[in-house]
Amino acid sequence: MSFGEPNNPYGPPPQQPPAAPGYGYPQQTPPPGIPPQQPYGYPQQPAYPGYPGYPGYPGGNMVPQSMPGLLVTARVFLYIISAVQILGALALLYFAAFASDVSDGADDLGFSTARDGSEIAAGVFGVFAVIAAALAALSITLGVKFGSGGQGIRITAVVYGALGTIVGLLGLFVGLDSGLASTIIGPLLWITFGGIITAAPVVPSGTAWFSRPRY
């Protein structure tokens, strides 16, 4: 009886198919490049850990899905500043109109010196009113663009806040020289507002917000 026959008792035993690994036995390692499969019922892990589900900015941090709190505070301060600037522009326009009326009355009475001074005052008040109105428009624009603006809005806000902080510091020095407590409160508020407006776009959360991809 030959060894090739299947019923030969002296031949080698027939080969059995490989059994499935049982409980406690190590699982087979998948080929390189193919992510391992998770057992049923376990939470699935990302196939490629190097690619998170939400894109990040070049620094590596995750992009915030909503505006950071410091930027929201800076936006509120911009709106408050714009309201003060609008009120200042209206007050300056009133003073300009009043000085113009004084100039007309002095002209009727023949006081040429008073007329010239009133005309100069009216012109100065008018120029400052236009500057205040332009700054109010800039404050409102920056506040609105915080939600959709990019690096241009970010840089403008930093420069604008820094200039406001410098103005507040100058006012604080003047108030300290006067010795009146009431002249210090306004500059301190201005310094606080300007500092937060300057810092909000510079901190990592603000940088990530203005660097986020837009589709």
What does the pLDDT look like over 30-75, one tens digit per residue? 555 555 555 545 455 444 344 343 444 444 455 567 889 999 999 9
What is the model's pTM? Answer: 0.66
Q: Does the structure show a pLDDT above 70 at 107? A: no
Residue 25 lies in a domain: no
Decide if 122 is inside a domain: yes
Tally the domains of the chain: 1
Is the distance from CB of 183 to CB of 175 less than 8 angstroms? yes
Is 8 inside any structural domain?
Answer: no
b/e burial code for range 157-192 (CB count within 10 A of at least 16 → b): bbebbeebbeebeebbeebeeeeeeeebeebebbbe
Task: Output 122 or 77, whichever has higher pLDDT.
Answer: 77
Across 52-69, b (16+ Cβ under 10 Å) vs e yields eeeeebeeeeeebeebbe
Specify if 52 maps to a domain: no
Residue 15 placed within a domain: no
State residue 13 phi and psi, 5-degree precision: -65, 150
28 assigned to some structural domain: no
Residue 111 lies in domain: 69-208
What's the whole-number mean pLDDT along residues 16-26?
52
Assess if residue 190 is contained within a domain: yes
Residue 123 domain flag: yes
